[in-house]
């Protein structure tokens, strides 16, 4: 029996995690679930899964959350604030933590789980993009196991050889990591239309059902850029080891190419419950509730190279990855601010990449390592991006 904390339980990944867990009551027990703004769905989850703790990240809503829990007959203890998120991620009773808060807000609780040596099911890619070296060093020190939940990284993880040595891909016979991405809804949209893309259009993904921030990131391909950086840290790869491949059908979730010419791909229906189930049960396999791929009806599998002028955010992220930690931390922060401004109707879709690029251009690369430096750079980049956005309005 594994005891699990789910950070970001009310989100898309959080709900899918609870779905998989509910299929295996004999294997998993929920210790804590956390949410931020959606109090009623969070309490409903608490009733359904019997979590010992329910944590609301937003401290201002403690009284409201307590009252709602009492009203709905929730037996779980209600806690609030970032410290409580860290506590339920690092409590001695907890075996595994699903890190599925969106954005930089996930960094501190995810890091708490890493430092406590937990098995960390990492969906929150932004945490790793912000703090790669610190994050991986903390895992090494504590003995935490990081299991990638992002479907591409989960796929790569499944395609690695048993002899894989972190940080030395050639020693494992690997010539390239092939990171696939669908290209999102605007893969074929005329570039001249990009300024008029609406929030509704950008929040629709042809293959995957996800939260709004990552869906917009998928449309700009910043998501693939963040994943590029994530892959470097997770597998100890250099930017030259990774190739991004457009694969609109999302049937192959990524591949590993070997020096002997072999390519190993992981395939499946695009449903996040597959990588979640893999992370929960690793090294075993459990039913995820996902149907088998039907090869009789499978359409063509196609591949191409993402175009720079269509997806500037992708190339910005790859460049930031080469520059180093200060650039990736800032890019992540600027992008969060720009995406929020787009969702809020303040800027155009095509402005997101402009804000990101200009934020990076305004800040000289520096050495960052400590948590304090990372949080400082995150805040500085947020201010710079917000100022640039005000200039556009
Ligand atoms: P959602 O937007 O659906 O959910 C986000 C979760 O984070 C919610 O539980 C939300 O709470 C919580 N949250 C939001 N803001 C805060 C905050 N300030 N403090 C604490 N908690 C907060 O996102 P997704 O589930 O789509 O994505 C979660 C993470 O997983 C992201 O990092 C994403 O990149 C990654 N990921 C997602 C995939 C997917 O298919 N969805 C695939 C691969 C990676 P509430 O809703 O109550 O406000
Ligand atoms: Mg992904």
In this structure, which ligand is nearest to the CA of 149?
1
CATH architecture of 324-392: Orthogonal Bundle (1.10)
Name the DSSP class of 291: P
Extents of the domains making up the chain: 2-148, 156-297, 324-392
What is the model's pLDDT at position 359? 98
Q: Which of 203, 211, 253, 272 to mutate to test the pocket of ligand 1 (most atoms within 8 A of CB)?
A: 211
Bridge partners, 180 (sequence order) = 245
Is residue 393's pLDDT more than 90? no
- Residues in contact with 214: Cβ distance below 8 Å, sequence separation at least 6, in sequence order: 102, 223
Mean pLDDT in residue range 6-17:
98
Q: What is the average pLDDT value for the chain, to the nearest integer? A: 97
Mean pLDDT in residue range 355-360:
98
Q: What is the pLDDT of residues 77-119, one digit of tens each?
A: 999 999 999 999 999 999 999 999 999 999 999 999 999 999 9
Mean pLDDT in residue range 233-245:
97
List phi, psi (to 5°) of 132. Answer: -35, -60
pLDDT band of 65, cuts 50, 70, 90:
very high
Q: What is the pLDDT of residues 120-178, one digit of tens each?
A: 999 999 999 999 999 999 999 999 999 999 999 999 999 999 989 899 999 999 999 99
Is residue 23's pLDDT more than 90? yes
pLDDT band of 299, cuts 50, 70, 90:
confident
Is residue 209's pLDDT more than 90? no
Kindly give the distance from the C-alpha atom of residue 30 to the centroid of ligand 2, in angstroms, as a whole number: 25
- Residues in contact with 127: Cβ distance below 8 Å, sequence separation at least 6, in sequence order: 99, 104, 106, 107, 110, 111, 135
In ligand 1, which atom is closest to the CA atom of 13?
25
Contact 32, 5 (CB under 8 A): yes
Q: Is 155 in the pocket of ligand 1 (CB under 6 A)?
A: no
What is the model's pLDDT at position 297? 87
Q: Is 12 in the pocket of ligand 1 (CB under 6 A)?
A: yes
Question: Domain 2-148: which CATH class?
Answer: alpha beta
Residue with CA nearest ligand 1 atom 4? 11
Euclidean distance between CA atoms 393 and 214, whole angstroms: 24
């Amino acid at each position: 029996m594994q005891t699990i904390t789910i950070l970001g339980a009310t989100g898309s990944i959080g709900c899918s995690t609870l779905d998989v867990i509910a299929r295996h009551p004999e294997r998993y027990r929920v210790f804590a679930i956390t949410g931020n703004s959606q109090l009623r769905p969070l309490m409903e989850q608490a009733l359904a899964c019997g979590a010992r703790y329910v944590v609301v990240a937003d401290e201002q809503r403690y009284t409201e959350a307590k009252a709602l829990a009492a009203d709905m007959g929730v037996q779980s203890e209600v806690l609030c604030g970032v410290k409580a998120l860290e506590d339920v991620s690092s409590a001695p009773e907890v075996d595994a933590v699903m890190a599925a808060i969106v954005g930089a807000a996930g960094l501190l609780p995810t890091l708490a789980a890493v430092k406590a040596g937990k098995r960390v099911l990492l969906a929150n890619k932004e945490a790793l993009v912000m703090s790669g070296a610190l994050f991986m060093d903390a895992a090494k020190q504590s003995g935490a196991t990081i299991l990638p939940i992002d479907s591409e990284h989960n796929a790569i993880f499944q395609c690695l050889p048993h002899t894989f040595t972190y940080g030395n891909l050639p020693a494992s016979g690997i010539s390239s990591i092939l990171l696939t991405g669908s290209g999102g809804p605007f893969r074929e949209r005329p570039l001249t239309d990009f300024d008029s893309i609406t929030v509704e259009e950008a929040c629709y993904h042809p293959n995957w059902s996800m939260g709004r921030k990552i869906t917009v990131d998928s449309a700009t391909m910043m998501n693939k850029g963040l994943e590029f950086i994530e892959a470097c840290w997770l597998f100890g790869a250099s930017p030259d080891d990774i190739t991004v491949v457009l694969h609109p059908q999302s049937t192959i979730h990524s591949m590993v190419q070997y020096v002997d010419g072999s390519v190993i791909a992981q395939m499946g229906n695009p449903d996040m419950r597959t990588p979640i189930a893999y992370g929960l049960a690793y090294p075993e396999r459990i039913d995820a509730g996902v149907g088998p791929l039907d090869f009789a009806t499978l359409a063509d599998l196609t591949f191409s190279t993402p175009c720079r002028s269509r997806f500037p955010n992708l190339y910005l992220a790859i460049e930031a990855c080469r520059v180093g930690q200060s650039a990736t931390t800032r890019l992540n922060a600027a992008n969060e601010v720009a995406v929020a401004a787009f969702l809020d109707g303040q800027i155009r879709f095509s402005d997101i990449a402009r804000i990101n690029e200009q934020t990076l251009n305004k800040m000289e690369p520096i050495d960052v390592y400590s948590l304090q430096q990372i949080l400082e750079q995150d805040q500085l980049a947020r201010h710079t991006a917000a100022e640039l956005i005000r200039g556009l309005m």
